[in-house]
Amino acid sequence: MIIDLHTHTRLSDGEFTIAEHLRRAETAGYDFVAVTDHVDQSNVESVVGKVIVGCDSFNKNSTHMKALPGIEITHVHPSEIVHIVKYARSNGIKIVAVHGETIVESVFPGTNHAAIMANVDFLGHPGIISEEDVLLAKERNVRLEITCRKGHALGNGRVFSLSKKYGTKLLLNSDTHAANDFYTEDRYRKTALGAGLSEEEFIHLLEDIREFVKSKIK
């Protein structure tokens, strides 16, 4: 079972059109995938419309994998995040993510906190997230991401250990941009184990993520 809720297409900086992207995910053995292209104030309207059309078209003819329309709010000033979240949700977006304060890029300080306060579905690669924000994420039911993405993955150990300490929920995502980024079953599992999860914790996390996705496709 592969559930990957963070991927990019040509609607932002990914390699493929949505149709090809989803077809590749399906043939890689995915069960659920979210398309979460980068948005800011300038492109949110067009991306929201297109990602919904692309996912709906795929789902109409798919017998196995389901696609979920999403966005990743990226390098938007923390004070503006909540407005984009509201716009996306009221226009049919199922998975709302924020590009968190990764170790390897100059994201605005305060982005992690603003994303949690805006009740996004998950905070991507939150880097050296504060303990207060990990606790707040638990209280507001915002998931934190364990990522396969080079560079962003440097924060995985901290994200896992603090999530475990406070009981904050997690997701396990590839942040796919290109052909070689898609998860295999093996890579999915190893990303979790590399972050510090035990085999048992990994199985438990998979069950938890499955229930989360089910609640999103109702």
Binding site for Zn ion (CB under 5 A): 72, 99, 124, 175
The answer to whether 26 touches 18, Cβ cutoff 8 Å, is: no
Q: Which is nearer to Zn ion, 72 or 133 (CB)?
A: 72
Cα end-to-end span (Å), the chain: 19
Q: Which is nearer to Zn ion, 104 or 200 (CB)?
A: 104
Q: Which is nearer to Zn ion, 26 or 72 (CB)?
A: 72
CB of 119 to Zn ion, least distance (A): 18
Q: What residue number has its CB nearest to Zn ion?
A: 99
CB of 81 to Zn ion, least distance (A): 13
CB of 111 to Zn ion, least distance (A): 11
CB of 102 to Zn ion, least distance (A): 7
Q: Which is nearer to Zn ion, 178 or 203 (CB)?
A: 178
Distance CA 155, CA 99 (A): 13
Q: Which is nearer to Zn ion, 102 or 168 (CB)?
A: 102
CB of 15 to Zn ion, least distance (A): 13
Instruction: Please report, for residues 105, 111, 177, 199, the alpha-carbon distance to residue 79 in angstroms, rounded to integers and kept in the order given.
Output: 19, 9, 28, 39
